[in-house]
Every structure is written in C-alpha cells, then in structure tokens.
A and B are shown apart, each in its own frame.
Chain A
Amino acid sequence: MPANEIEIRGVSKWYGDHQVLKSISTDMKRGEALVVIGPSGSGKTTLLRCINLLDDFQEGEIRIGGEAMGYTLDAAGKRVRRSETEIARMRAKLGMVFQSFNLFPHMSALKNVALGPIRVLHTPPKEAAEQARAMLARVGLADKADAMPGQLSGGQQQRVAIARALAMKPTAMLFDEVTSALDPELVAEVLDVMRQLVQEGMTMVIVTHEMSFAQAFAHRAIFMAAGEIVEQGEPAALFQDPQSRRLQAFLDRFKQGYKL
C-alpha cells in the first residue's frame, strides 16, 4: 500500500481561457488532516471537487490510494476519461460533505445514510439500516433516524450528511466549507464531529474559513490564491508567521473582522 492516501500532481484546470488551477501538487499521508484556506475564487473548492471528479481537470494527475482518479491513458498514450461506472466506484471511496448539506429531502435521515451502502456496496437493506443507525449515533443523532431533513436544524442536517459520507467507509473525507451555511451557534456541533474524525485518524481535506479549528486540529494547512498554492505548512506556524504578502493580507482581513 502506498503511504500517501491522496497524491495531487501538477493539476491544472481551465474554464475557457481562464486558468482556475495552476499546476497544483501536494501529497497527503494516511490519517492527515489538511486544511485549505484562501480568498473566494482562489480555486480551493474547485481543487476539492477535482479530487472526486465532480469537476474535470485538464492536466495533471490525482491518485487515490495509488490509483489514478478519473483519467487513464489509452493505448496511444492519450489521456482519456474513465467510464462513469469506474469513476463512480472510485468516488465511493471518498466521502464528500457540501456547504449546502444536499441531503435527499424525500428520504428520512436513516435512508439518506443507508442509500449509498445499499446501491453501491450492495449491503443488504436490513444490515445497511443497522449500520446507518450506528453512523447516526456516531454523529450524535441516534434519535433522529426517522426525521426528514426538513425537520432538522442546519447543524443536524450537516451531521447527517457526514454520517451519509462515513457510511460508505471512505478512505478519505472531503469537506467543502461545511460550516459556512450554518448559524454561528450550530457551527460547534459540526466541528466537534470533524475533530473526532481527525482524532480517529481519518484522512481529511477541509476547505474552511474556521481558522481556530484549523489551527487546533489540522496537521497541515495550504493557502491558495489565484489558483496557486502560495504557502503551506503547520497551521499555527503558517497563521502566526506568514511569509507571503498575500497570506499576510488574507489573515489581516480575517483578524479585523467587521469594523466600522
């Protein structure tokens, strides 16, 4: 088994003429929690979405557990997209949690969590339901199994979404600004679950604006701007002693917050 859970090598992406990712490279060790910060439009969410191929990228390579994600070389050595089935199989190994939860509104919390295992892992429905209950308990929602998403608070919905991703027994988890849509008092309950995952040794890529969380629990932080990795390192060091002017400016704006 390769020591790196996720390898990102020279990934570039364009929207027409506009390059949104400029040859991004970074490796993630198993059990590492990586935080990606940066101003909006810096490409951090796009990078995350490239990892499980919700977005295509035109150059470079992303390897998950040693296997190239999304693209392969044909007999002539040309880069071709893998089949949808293959991509789906690889996506199943990565859990993803979205800013806007994206729970299936017509299914109970339990069914939201059990659907993937039933359809993708072919877990028998009864067993899948039991596992789903266990997953919901893990995120502190054992009593909400039968609730519909519309009956849950934002924080609860987001925790169900985390349980839904965990139910697939992923080798890594991707978090896309998962607390940005939450009321401030609900942020903590979601971060608690994520902290627990870090401590359990889950490999995680976390795009976030929660600097204090990043500093306290992440192993490494990447600062992106204009599609590039500008700086990276141990979070506390990075935040306290920024080397580049761009990170300095970004952090300053954060510290200032809203001032009249």
Chain B
Amino acid sequence: MDLLLHSLPLLARGTITTVYLSAAAVVLATVLGIVLALLQLYGGIVLRALVEVYLYVVRGVPLLVLLFAMYYALPYANVRIEPVTGGILVIGIYFGAFMTEVFRAAVLSVPKGQWEAARAVGLTTPWILRDVVLAQAVRMAGPPFINTCVMVVKGTSLVAIIGLADVTYVGKQIVERTLAPFEIFGAVALVYFVICFALSRVGRYLEGRVNYAS
C-alpha cells in the first residue's frame, strides 16, 4: 500500500503523458482519416492511388516497427524528431489508416437515395456532402470511431520502448526499483482500463444517438 502511495505521483505523471499522447494522436488520426477518406472517395485517380498505397503500407507494417524506424532509422537520414512529437506523428499516421476506413465506410453507408433527393432539390455537391452525407456519416462513424480511439490509447503504450515516459514506461521503471510487478502493473493496467472503459461508455451513448427518432 505504502509502495503504491509513493509511486502514485510518478504514475500520475505517466498517465498525463499517456492521455496527452492519445489525445494528440487521435486528433491527428481523425483529421487524416476524414481528409483521406474524402480523397479516396472523391479525389482524382492519382490521389486515390496515393491514399491506397498509404493504407496498404500502414496496415502491413506493425506500429512498433514504425516507431523503431522513426526513432532509430531517421537520425541516420539526418532527420531528428523530438521523441514526443515523433511518437504522436507515428501513432497518428498509423491509426490514420484505420480512421480512413472508419470514415470511408460511414460515408458509403449513406444511401444513394439521399444523394438523389438532395440533387433533386438543387443542392450542389459541397452542400450535399456537408448537410446530408457527412452529417449522417459522422453519426454512423461514432461507434467505430470510439473503437479506434480505444486502440490508439492502448497503442500509445508502445512508446515506452523508445523511452517516452508514459504510464507503461513509468510503471516499468518503478517495478525495476521496487520488484513489485503485481501491484504496479496492476495499477498501470487499471489506468488503461479506466480510460478505455470511459471511451466505450461514450461509444454506447453515441450508438443510441444513431437512431434519429429517439
């Protein structure tokens, strides 16, 4: 108990780093996801091909390998990125691919009749996208979006390996000094669980909102 109390400030700081990394990576991944989904759906053939390449590369390479590439390989190319920024970039870009799928599927889930009804009223494509298609797609995307956010939060734990002081890294450090893995890693696991559980609850709430009538 004493041990946990002493570790608490450190774990709290690690938690803040984890939350910060997660939030920043989610923002980056979401922006990437929306933009790339729209490019893939409505862009020219070149843009569509580029997005495809990005999706295949990112989906085909583990997140850990991408982190290693950023941390160990880029310096050889004389590109130095500060680890926190680098971590956010890599995680954001990695999960951006998943977000692209989330938003692409959501846009495609809007029935063709919605486009036709909007066209028949005389709306031009930008307005149709904004008022009719994206307005509905965003609601449809809610639950899978939250799901991907949960994956991002858990994915940030990998940055411990490149030495970023997130809650996993801090936990490992404390365990090395105190030799109390059960208590400390239990606490670390609890941190992730609480964040992800809260997200899931939000997801449930959004799921209810997809049903417009209620």
A94 partner residues in chain B, CB cutoff 8 A: 120
Interface size on A, residues (CB 8 A): 31
Contact (Cβ within 8 A) B121 A168: yes
Contact (Cβ within 8 A) A120 B123: yes
Excluding A116-B121, A120-B121, A148-B213, 14 further A-B contacts by CB distance (< 8 Å) are A54-B116, A54-B120, A95-B120, A98-B120, A100-B113, A102-B113, A104-B131, A105-B212, A106-B212, A115-B123, A115-B131, A119-B123, A149-B213, A168-B121
Contact (Cβ within 8 A) B121 A164: yes
Contact (Cβ within 8 A) B117 A92: no
Q: CA–CA, A34 to B107, complex, Å?
A: 37
The minimal Cβ–Cβ distance linking B116 to chain A, given in whole angstroms, is: 6
A106 partner residues in chain B, CB cutoff 8 A: 135-136, 139, 212
In the complex, residue of chain B having the shortest beta-carbon distance to the beta carbon of A97: B120
A128: interface (CB < 8 Å) = no
Contact (Cβ within 8 A) B212 A149: yes
Interface size on B, residues (CB 8 A): 22
Partner of A104, one of B119, B122, B125, B132: B132
- The binding surface of chain A is classed by DSSP as mixed
Contact (Cβ within 8 A) A91 B119: yes
26 contacts between A and B (CB under 8 A): A54-B116, A54-B119, A84-B125, A94-B120, A95-B120, A96-B117, A96-B120, A98-B117, A100-B113, A103-B117, A104-B114, A104-B118, A106-B135, A115-B121, A115-B123, A116-B122, A116-B123, A119-B127, A120-B122, A120-B123, A148-B212, A149-B213, A150-B213, A151-B213, A165-B121, A168-B122
Interface string of A152-174 (1 = CB under 8 A from B): 00000000010011001000000
- The binding surface of chain B is classed by DSSP as helix
Q: CA–CA, A164 to B114, complex, Å?
A: 13
The minimal Cβ–Cβ distance linking A160 to chain B, given in whole angstroms, is: 11
The 5 closest A-B pairs by CB, nearest first: A92-B122, A150-B213, A102-B117, A116-B121, A96-B120
Q: CA–CA, A119 to B131, complex, Å?
A: 10
Q: CA–CA, A84 to B118, complex, Å?
A: 13
Residues of A in contact with B (beta carbons under 8 Å apart): 52, 54, 84-85, 88-89, 91-96, 98, 100, 102-106, 115-116, 119-120, 148-151, 161, 164-165, 168
Q: CA–CA, A106 to B140, complex, Å?
A: 11
A151 partner residues in chain B, CB cutoff 8 A: 213
Kindly name the residue among A54, A96, A105, A115 whose own CB sees the greatest number of chain B CB atoms within 10 A: A105
The minimal Cβ–Cβ distance linking A66 to chain B, given in whole angstroms, is: 18
B78: interface (CB < 8 Å) = no
In the complex, residue of chain A having the shortest beta-carbon distance to the beta carbon of B112: A102
The minimal Cβ–Cβ distance linking B208 to chain A, given in whole angstroms, is: 13
Contact (Cβ within 8 A) A52 B117: no
In the complex, residue of chain B having the shortest beta-carbon distance to the beta carbon of A91: B122
Interface string of B107-150 (1 = CB under 8 A from A): 00001011011111111110100011001100100000000000
- List residues 35-89 of chain B with CB under 8 A from any CB of chain A: none
The minimal Cβ–Cβ distance linking A114 to chain B, given in whole angstroms, is: 11
A115 partner residues in chain B, CB cutoff 8 A: 121, 123, 131
A85 partner residues in chain B, CB cutoff 8 A: 124
Partner of A88, one of B111, B113, B124, B211: B124
Q: CA–CA, A116 to B213, complex, Å?
A: 22
The minimal Cβ–Cβ distance linking B183 to chain A, given in whole angstroms, is: 49
B123 partner residues in chain A, CB cutoff 8 A: 88, 115-116, 119-120
Q: CA–CA, A119 to B122, complex, Å?
A: 9
